[in-house]
């Protein structure tokens, strides 16, 4: 039995320890904010926080998360009003919206670690997250808004 | 048949650049018009969209015909179908088109709300299930949602406003002319104490007869609250940002299983034999189900294979890995895209089937002082929406219910009913949000798979495609060689034009393959070539399909715009002309083209639109060229290894021009600091979403131009995931996309937006690279760096 914390709640998993966190969150816990996009860590749609770091939930097994704290977009802010979420709304960032929870979790980890991230640092941090609709201009602008750049 | 196939075959002189009030603003779109302009600025700091505008003159709404009349189930404008008003005044508006990122789920209800004089803050949007007899056509493709439904939605809102006014007048016992609906209530003119909210009037209003179109009073454009403003956030914005928005994989049904399918690696392949014993030993695996396959033409039938059904996704994937399957590759097992490219080039060098002939092209070439020719290649591509295909189905003996991200909910419902042998009334298709579509989700093979597996296991099933499945088992954008030759006369004018297009046809997915393209494909940037050249030949050479060919955002416009607009750059170089001036000279004077006089075929396909409503207007094409060039600072001095390239293309009856600014590093690395796009989409209903579509088109254009190639060896797709089918990322995206929208009144008909931004990008980039380096790139994709 694996014990872990998800969005502040104690959780346990009795199944395959190798199950990626993504499928545990989605299928076992019904937390569907993290999305499946590639399954191999190339797109970032499943990004969650593990001990505060942005990780790809498709690459982290439940066993890897044992005893640790996982935060998904559902737990990012109790009211759903994290500054990154607000900035996303200010700029009407999404098109289809599918990748945006991963983008937001990536951005939230960045601004927590580096509250004065430069344009280049934003680009570097966000380049692991693909948006096929092509919202990068607004994503960059939204992160910049949070770090005080505009 | 769906989408494109459903239809029968049947200037701006602008003022100076508007100055954005906040120079820091990262996202700027502008609206342009001859004697007035407004600009929209998305001011991040304030968190609102600020719009400065000068008021448009009042103008009656004149109805005009659109191609909607030729679409299955046409249009519906009945307020009883689209709107419900609750006692508390909440207005619920139905969105009947699928939302895949273009914003139609926001923009069409917004049109209803505006004509209804409803307060957008009190509007709720609900998604329609697949039911075209009730809602009208729901095929969300062809850039048609706003183009076909802005009129019915205005009518719907105006009719219900009149019904609310009639109900209030009856309540007060006054002439309906003495009351007026304003901002979610009806007031008695001249007596401000008499007012009734929409909630209080709802029951009586809905009991009123629906007034006919001719009796309706439409709002003058000056009174629009939302239409044309770009101030409305998309309706799903909060849900998307909090993770509660429901996409295809997100609904949960009691007892739901998860299935993945091992499909034949070659289209038309079959299962020769299989061994699932190791799969079935895995705890959590419940069943394996064989799915019957298909060989094109099979429309959207499943490819077949072995489905593994488990109690969760991970186990289903593990189980699939353990299958031992021997495949029979079938007739396409020899498909090799390199050899196929060579064969298409051979075909393009010989005369093809004449599709358009204007003047005497043979004589023009015979008399030419010189001939310029070039050949352009585009490989197959796949859509790669961030959400791979996925569907949930719950099938019982006499009913089926589906939850799925589909662009064609009613077509899906028809296909599922036919597949299961159920009457259509016994099938429900619920539409989730689509995590991107780009044409892939018009083809419901994945829903059919879910329905078959659910029926076989007697439980609700979520059928999930992996990214590898999506890249290897899709419906592919065709591959093509476009060869263009120009005859240059003694005066240095282009006197003849010969364009040979060779590409497998989408029709091969629906009907026995002739190897020739059909009018819908001819109409996309080929026979509709708008240049002022007296002698024109458009020929189509034969190319048989060896995979499933389907439509991809902008479809045949992609290779045609790449070829034609690159070739304009080549002509400019050959004749020593400025590329923009060359383009304008070829377009010629502002005029409406007469398709018959231009030698276009009798079955010329104008995106399904009546030509009189949406003619080819070269003045508007010139207009976007001039606007994009002006905004980009065409002609400005640039450092070494930087350059500007321009391209303009009419598609989906809209006119778009892009100027790409490229930097080519010493190591050949291609980067694009800025793109300037000018859009003429007729009356612009939601400029903010139009801007977002153009911003996104530049990114997808960058991906297409630099990276996108699906290749085949031994009939198998060679790519599998984002490491070998790459996407532009934030470190390689057009750094700034400036969007400039030509402003028109409603009488200039709203036209397509979702697709037409894409075709001009690749040729503009190729032209920019030529300007920067002198290297002409004719084969897509270019790669991250040039040699």
- Does the domain formed by B337-382+475-773 have CATH 3.30.365.10? yes
Optimal mutation site among A33, A98, A106, A122, interface B, most CBs of chain B within 10 A: A98
Name the β-bridge partners of B662. B643
Per-domain residue ranges of chain B: 75-242, 257-331+389-464, 337-382+475-773
On whether any CB of chain A is under 8 Å from the CB of B747, the answer is no
The 10s digit of each residue's pLDDT in B265-294 is: 999 999 999 999 999 999 999 999 999 999
What's the fold here for domain B257-331+389-464? Aldehyde Oxidoreductase; domain 4 (3.30.365)
On whether any CB of chain B is under 8 Å from the CB of A83, the answer is no
Res B31: pLDDT? 54
* CATH 3.10.20.30 domain range(s) in chain A: 2-75
Q: Give me the residues of A, 24-53, that contact B with CB < 8 A.
A: 26-28, 30-40, 42-43, 45
Distance from CA of B396 to the nearest CA of A (A): 23
Q: What percent of chain B has pLDDT over 90?
A: 92
Res B120: pLDDT? 98
On whether any CB of chain A is under 8 Å from the CB of B254, the answer is no
Distance from CA of A61 to the nearest CA of B (A): 11
A20–B236 CB contact, under 8 Å: no
- Rounding to the nearest 10 degrees, give the CA dihedral for residues B683, B687, B690, B695: 140
Q: Which of A107, A133, A111 has the alpha carbon at shortest distance from A37?
A: A133
Averaged pLDDT for residues B631-651 = 98
Averaged pLDDT for residues B146-162 = 98
Sign of the four-CA dihedral B549, B656, B501, B520: positive
A94–B237 CB contact, under 8 Å: yes
Minimal-distance CA residue of chain A relative to B702: A134
Look at residue B54 and tell me whether its pLDDT is greater than 60. Answer: no
Q: Which CATH class is domain A2-75?
A: alpha beta
Q: Which of B404, B342, B650, B670 has the alpha carbon at shortest distance from B524?
A: B650
- Chain A to chain B Cβ contacts (< 8 Å): 214
Minimal-distance CA residue of chain A relative to B105: A96
Minimal-distance CA residue of chain A relative to B98: A96
Task: Let me know how many helices (H) and strands (E) chain B has, helices first.
Answer: 20, 29
On whether any CB of chain A is under 8 Å from the CB of B26, the answer is yes
Optimal mutation site among A72, A97, A108, A147, interface B, most CBs of chain B within 10 A: A97
Optimal mutation site among A7, A133, A147, A148, interface B, most CBs of chain B within 10 A: A133
Distance from CA of B190 to the nearest CA of A (A): 40
Q: B486, B493 in Cβ contact below 8 A? A: no
B314–A16 CB contact, under 8 Å: yes
Look at residue B372 and tell me whether its pLDDT is greater than 50. Answer: yes
Residue B137 has phi, psi (to 5 degrees) of: -60, 140
Contacts of A94 in chain B (CB under 8 A): 101, 234, 236-237, 240-241
* CATH 1.10.150.120 domain range(s) in chain A: 83-146
Instruction: Among B24, B42, B464, select the one facing A91 at the smallest CB separation.
Output: B42
A89–B387 CB contact, under 8 Å: no
The Cβ of residue A18 has, within 10 Å, a number of other Cβ atoms equal to 11
Look at residue B51 and tell me whether its pLDDT is greater than 90. Answer: no
B26–A137 CB contact, under 8 Å: yes
| B330 backbone φψ class: left, alpha, beta (φ>0; ψ -120 to 50) | left
On whether any CB of chain A is under 8 Å from the CB of B720, the answer is no
Contacts of B47 in chain A (CB under 8 A): 86, 89-90
The 10s digit of each residue's pLDDT in B307-329 is: 999 999 999 999 999 999 999 99
B101–A133 CB contact, under 8 Å: yes
Averaged pLDDT for residues B638-661 = 98
Distance from CA of A67 to the nearest CA of B (A): 22
Averaged pLDDT for residues B354-366 = 98
Averaged pLDDT for residues A122-143 = 98
Q: What percent of chain A has pLDDT over 90?
A: 98
Instruction: Among A30, A85, A138, select the one facing B252 at the smallest CB separation.
Output: A30
Segment (H or E) for B158:
helix B145-172
Residue B117 makes CB contacts below 8 A (sequence gap 6+) with B161, B181, B182, B183, B184, B219, B225
Lowest mean pLDDT segment, chosen from B52-56, B178-182, B605-609, B626-630: B52-56
Res B275: pLDDT? 98
Distance from CA of A96 to the nearest CA of B (A): 4
B696–A26 CB contact, under 8 Å: no
**Architecture of the CATH domain A83-146:** Orthogonal Bundle (1.10)
Instruction: Among A34, A42, A132, select the one facing B385 at the smallest CB separation.
Output: A132
Instruction: Among A32, A94, A129, select the one facing B250 at the smallest CB separation.
Output: A32
Lowest mean pLDDT segment, chosen from A49-53, B40-44, B99-103: B40-44
The 10s digit of each residue's pLDDT in B384-398 is: 999 999 999 999 999
Look at residue B251 and tell me whether its pLDDT is greater than 80. Answer: yes
One fold for B75-242 and B337-382+475-773? yes
Contacts of A107 in chain B (CB under 8 A): none
A88–B241 CB contact, under 8 Å: yes
Distance from CA of A33 to the nearest CA of B (A): 4
B695–A138 CB contact, under 8 Å: yes
pLDDT band for B415, please (50, 70, 90 cuts). very high
B467–A37 CB contact, under 8 Å: yes
Contacts of B238 in chain A (CB under 8 A): 80, 89
Instruction: Among B42, B243, B692, select the one facing A95 at the smallest CB separation.
Output: B692
A23–B247 CB contact, under 8 Å: no
Global pTM exceeds 0.90 = yes
Query: Treating both helix axes as pointing N-terminal to C-terminal, what angle do B579-587 and B557-575 enclose, rounded to 10 degrees?
Result: 110
Q: Specify the 3-state DSSP secondary structure of A134.
A: coil
Residue B382 makes CB contacts below 8 A (sequence gap 6+) with B440, B470, B471, B474, B476, B477, B552, B710, B717, B719, B725
DSSP state string for A21-67: HHHIIIIIS---SS--S-SSSSS-TTEEEETTEEEETTTSBTGGGTT
The 10s digit of each residue's pLDDT in B473-518 is: 999 999 999 999 999 999 999 999 999 999 999 999 999 999 999 9
Distance from CA of A49 to the nearest CA of B (A): 14
Calpha distance B115→B587 (Å, rounded): 39
Distance from CA of A92 to the nearest CA of B (A): 6
Sign of the four-CA dihedral B542, B548, B554, B558: negative
Q: How many CA atoms lie within 13 A of B325 on its CB side?
A: 24
pLDDT band for B61, please (50, 70, 90 cuts). confident
Res B32: pLDDT? 52
The 10s digit of each residue's pLDDT in B194-234 is: 999 999 999 999 999 999 999 999 999 999 999 999 999 99
Q: Give me the residues of A, 49-68, that contact B with CB < 8 A.
A: none
**Architecture of the CATH domain B75-242:** 2-Layer Sandwich (3.30)
């Amino acid at each position: 039995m694996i014990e872990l914390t998800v969005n502040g709640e104690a959780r346990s998993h009795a199944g395959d320890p190798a199950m990626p966190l993504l499928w545990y969150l989605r299928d076992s816990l019904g937390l569907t904010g993290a999305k499946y996009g590639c399954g191999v860590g190339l797109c970032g749609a499943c990004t969650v926080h593990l001990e505060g770091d942005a990780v790809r939930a498709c690459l982290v097994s439940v066993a890897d998360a044992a005893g640790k704290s996982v935060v998904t977009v559902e737990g990012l802010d109790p009211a759903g009003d994290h500054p990154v979420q607000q900035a996303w709304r200010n700029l009407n960032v999404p098109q289809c919206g599918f990748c945006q929870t991963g983008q937001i979790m990536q951005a939230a980890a960045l601004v927590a670690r580096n509250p004065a991230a430069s344009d280049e640092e934003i680009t570097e941090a966000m380049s692991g997250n693909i948006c096929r609709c092509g919202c990068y201009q607004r994503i960059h602008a939204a992160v910049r808004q949070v770090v005080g750049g505009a | 048949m769906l989408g494109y196939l459903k239809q029968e075959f049947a200037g701006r002189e602008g003022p100076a650049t508007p100055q954005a009030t906040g120079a820091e603003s990262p996202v700027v779109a502008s609206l342009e018009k001859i004697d007035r302009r407004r600009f929209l600025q998305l001011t991040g700091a304030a968190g609102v969209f600020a719009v400065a505008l000068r008021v448009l003159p009042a103008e009656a709404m004149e109805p005009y015909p659109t191609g909607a009349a030729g679409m299955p189930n046409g249009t519906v404008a009945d307020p009883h179908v689209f709107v419900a008003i609750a006692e508390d005044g909440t207005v619920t508006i139905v969105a009947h088109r699928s939302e895949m990122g273009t914003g139609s789920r926001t923009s069409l209800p917004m049109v209803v709300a505006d004509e209804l004089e409803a307060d957008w803050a009190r509007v709720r949007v609900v998604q329609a299930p697949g039911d075209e007899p009730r809602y009208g056509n729901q095929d969300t493709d062809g850039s048609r949602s706003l183009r076909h439904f802005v009129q019915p939605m205005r009518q719907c809102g105006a009719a219900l406003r009149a019904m609310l006014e009639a109900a209030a007048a009856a309540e007060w016992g006054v002439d309906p002319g003495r009351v007026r609906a304003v901002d979610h209530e009806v007031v008695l003119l001249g007596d401000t104490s008499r007012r009734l909210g929409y909630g209080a009037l709802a029951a009586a209003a809905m009991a009123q007869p629906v007034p006919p179109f001719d009796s309706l009073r439409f709002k003058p454009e000056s009174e629009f609250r939302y239409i044309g403003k770009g101030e409305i956030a998309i309706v799903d914005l909060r849900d998307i940002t909090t993770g509660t928005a429901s996409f295809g994989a997100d609904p949960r049904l009691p007892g739901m299983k998860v299935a993945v399918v091992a499909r034949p690696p070659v289209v038309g392949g079959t299962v020769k034999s299989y061994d699932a014993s190791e799969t079935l030993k895995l705890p959590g695996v419940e069943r394996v189900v064989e799915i019957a396959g298909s060989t094109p033409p099979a429309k959207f039938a499943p490819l077949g294979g072995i489905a593994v059904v488990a109690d969760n996704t991970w186990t289903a994937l593990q189980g699939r890995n353990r299958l031992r399957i021997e495949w029979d590759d079938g007739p396409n097992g020899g498909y090799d895209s390199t050899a196929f490219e060579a064969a298409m080039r051979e075909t393009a060098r010989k005369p093809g089937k004449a599709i358009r002939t204007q003047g005497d092209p043979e004589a023009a070439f015979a008399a030419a002082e010189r001939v310029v020719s070039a050949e352009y290649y585009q490989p197959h591509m796949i859509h790669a929406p961030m959400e791979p295909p996925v569907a949930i189905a719950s099938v019982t003996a006499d009913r089926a219910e589906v939850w799925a991200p589909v662009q064609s909910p009613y077509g899906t419902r028809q296909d599922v009913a036919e597949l299961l042998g159920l009457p259509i009334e016994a099938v429900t298709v619920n539409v989730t949000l689509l995590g991107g579509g780009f044409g892939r989700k018009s083809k419901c093979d994945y829903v059919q798979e879910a329905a078959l597996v659910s029926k076989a296991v007697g439980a609700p099933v979520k059928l999930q495609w992996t990214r590898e499945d999506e890249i290897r088992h899709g419906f592919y954008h065709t591959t093509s060689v476009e060869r263009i030759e120009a005859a240059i006369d003694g005066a240095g004018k282009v006197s003849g034009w010969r364009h040979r297009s060779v590409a497998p046809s989408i029709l091969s997915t629906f009907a026995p393959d002739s190897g020739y393209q059909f009018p819908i494909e001819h109409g996309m940037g080929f026979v509709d070539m708008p240049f002022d050249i007296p002698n024109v030949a458009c020929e189509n050479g034969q190319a048989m399909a060896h995979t499933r060919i389907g439509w991809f955002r902008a479809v045949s416009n992609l290779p045609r715009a790449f070829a034609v607009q690159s070739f304009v750059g080549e002509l400019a170089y050959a004749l020593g002309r400025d590329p923009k001036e060359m383009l304008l000279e070829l377009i010629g004077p502002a005029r409406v083209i007469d398709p018959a006089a231009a030698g276009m075929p009798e079955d010329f396909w104008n995106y399904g639109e009546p030509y009189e409503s949406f003619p080819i207007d070269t003045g508007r094409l010139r207009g976007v060229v001039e606007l994009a060039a002006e905004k980009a600072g065409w002609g400005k001095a640039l450092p070494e290894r930087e350059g500007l390239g321009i391209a303009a293309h009419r598609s989906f009856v809209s006119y778009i021009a892009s100027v790409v600014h490229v930097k080519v590093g010493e190591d050949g690395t291609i980067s694009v600091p800025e793109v300037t796009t000018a859009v003429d989409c007729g009356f612009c209903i939601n400029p903010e979403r139009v801007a977002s579509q153009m911003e996104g088109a530049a990114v997808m254009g960058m991906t297409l131009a630099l990276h996108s190639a699906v290749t085949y060896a031994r009939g198998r797709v060679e790519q599998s995931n984002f490491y070998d089918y790459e996407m532009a990322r934030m470190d390689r995206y057009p750094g700034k996309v400036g969007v400039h929208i030509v402003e028109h009144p409603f009488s200039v008909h709203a036209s397509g937006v979702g697709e037409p931004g894409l075709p001009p990008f690749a040729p503009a980039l190729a032209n920019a690279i030529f300007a920067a380096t002198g290297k002409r790139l004719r084969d897509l994709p270019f790669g991250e760096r040039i040699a």
